[in-house]
Amino acid sequence: MKKLFLLYLTLFSVTSFAEDGPRTDSYRKWYIPDHMKLQFAGNIGFMSGGPGYISRNKTLETDVLFGFLPKKFGGDALITLTAKVTYSPWRIHLKNSYNIAPFSIGFYSSHTFGPQFDSKWPEYYPKGYYWWATAVRLGAYVGGKAGRTVKFNKKVRNFEAYYEVGTYDLMFISYVQNTGFLKPSDILSLAIGIKMSL
């Protein structure tokens, strides 16, 4: 689990480094996060939250979210670590410091921890017995967001609220092979969240 955490950490720092480059607008070191996100649902926890980075042109966000699903709400207590990349190509600036990003598209890789979940199947299975890893899910989503720039704690900060409609690998393959019984809405679910720039 520790190893995996380090892997995720490396993964997102490399991505963000590649996207960000050296910053000219502040003295902040490259590894200091640009924002924090807090998300509800979206198959990565009941609530999930964590730091993220944004590209210089403000279109590409990379986030690491630590998610938790309490047993009370999920039937089983589950901890998830997710790396997530969201691309929002257009931003419309409105009056009164409001702005909208009407379209976002993104994908994520999430790891759910627990002895019942494997990223590599144990040796007592023949090779290829099960073809998927139960611990790791790959998902994709589309969404949008709206934000406002406000002065907060003597700093100009951007607050955003976003939504995402998405699915993940195992649901997608189930749908593709059963378009008679399943509707797209059967495999899609909604996530909502907020973001605060640091």
Partner 1 sequence: MKTLLNTFILFTALINISCEGLFQYNPNQVILKEDERNLNLKNVALIQALPQKDTTRFILMGDTQRWYDESSDFIKSANSQRDISFVIHAGDISDFGLSQEFKWVNQIMQELKYPYVTVIGNHDIVANGPLVYKKMYGELDYSFEFGGNKFIFINTNSREYNFDGLVPNLPWLRSQLKNNPTDKNAIVIAHVPPFDADFDPNMQNEYAQILASDPNVKFTLYGHQHTFKNEEFYEDGVRYMTTTSMGARGYLIVTTWKGGYRVERVEF
Interface with partner 1 (CB under 8 A):
38, 40-46, 67, 69, 73-76, 78, 80, 112, 116-117, 122, 124-125, 130, 132, 134, 137, 152, 159, 161, 168, 170-171, 173-174, 177-182, 186, 189-192, 194, 196
Cα distance between residue 63 and residue 52, in whole Å: 4
DSSP string, 109-133: EEEEESTT--SS--TTSPTTSS-S-
- Indicate the SS3 state at residue 73: helix
Nearer to partner 1 among residue 6 and residue 186 (C-beta): 186
Q: How far is the CB of 90 from partner 1 (least distance, A)?
A: 24
> Tell me, what amino acid is at 127?
K
The DSSP call for residue 30 is T
Q: How far is the CB of 72 from partner 1 (least distance, A)?
A: 11
C-alpha closest to that of 86 among 67, 105, 103: 105
Nearer to partner 1 among residue 103 and residue 125 (C-beta): 125
Cα distance between residue 140 and residue 117, in whole Å: 21
Q: How far is the CB of 30 from partner 1 (least distance, A)?
A: 26
Nearer to partner 1 among residue 29 and residue 72 (C-beta): 72
Nearer to partner 1 among residue 15 and residue 113 (C-beta): 113
